[in-house]
Amino acid sequence: MNNKHIFTFCGIATLVSAAIAGPVDTSKLPPAATKQGVTYAGDVKAIFDKSCVKCHGAEKPKAKLRMDSLAGVLKGSADGKVIEAGNSAKSPLVHAIGHLGDEDHWMPPPKNKANIGPLTAEQIGLIRAWIDQGAK
């Protein structure tokens, strides 16, 4: 098999894998909070500080994702952006904190060393509102 065939095979395997996994069912997410003017500094940072920064802070941030600053969250991880400003339902961060899709991507992970529990529906709703309002 030449390199062209190997590339084609890998591409097909990736597409098949994605098709089997299927899209994330965002109907299972809590709705965005109705609060207006949600900001990182005023509303979201406290949630991230409690539930995310232990692993995604300044010291050895997992997946190179820093959640201890607005700039860090907006930059994203080693795999790319984690939020889509204006569309929380399409934001990988929301899928992860909402425990949708592959359990390996749930945040905080179940049975984590820091014993941090999952975010509440209210916390997820506030993060969704922040993202939907432009992630400022």
Span 94-120, pLDDT tens digits: 999 999 999 989 999 998 988 999 999
For residue 7, being part of any structural domain is answered with: no
Amino acid (1-letter code) at residue 25:
D
For residue 4, being part of any structural domain is answered with: no
pLDDT at 9: 35
Q: How many CB atoms lie within 10 A of CB 43?
A: 17
Interatomic CA distance for residues 130 and 136, integer angstroms? 7
pLDDT at 106: 95
Q: Which residues of the chain have pLDDT under 50?
A: 1-21
Domain residues for 54?
24-132
- Our count of domains for the chain comes to 1
Q: How many CB atoms lie within 10 A of CB 50?
A: 12
Could you give the C-alpha distances from 63 to 1, 57, 109, in angstroms and in order? 34, 11, 14
For residue 12, being part of any structural domain is answered with: no
Q: State yes or no: cis peptide before 61, omega within 30 of 0.
A: no
For residue 97, being part of any structural domain is answered with: yes
pLDDT at 24: 86
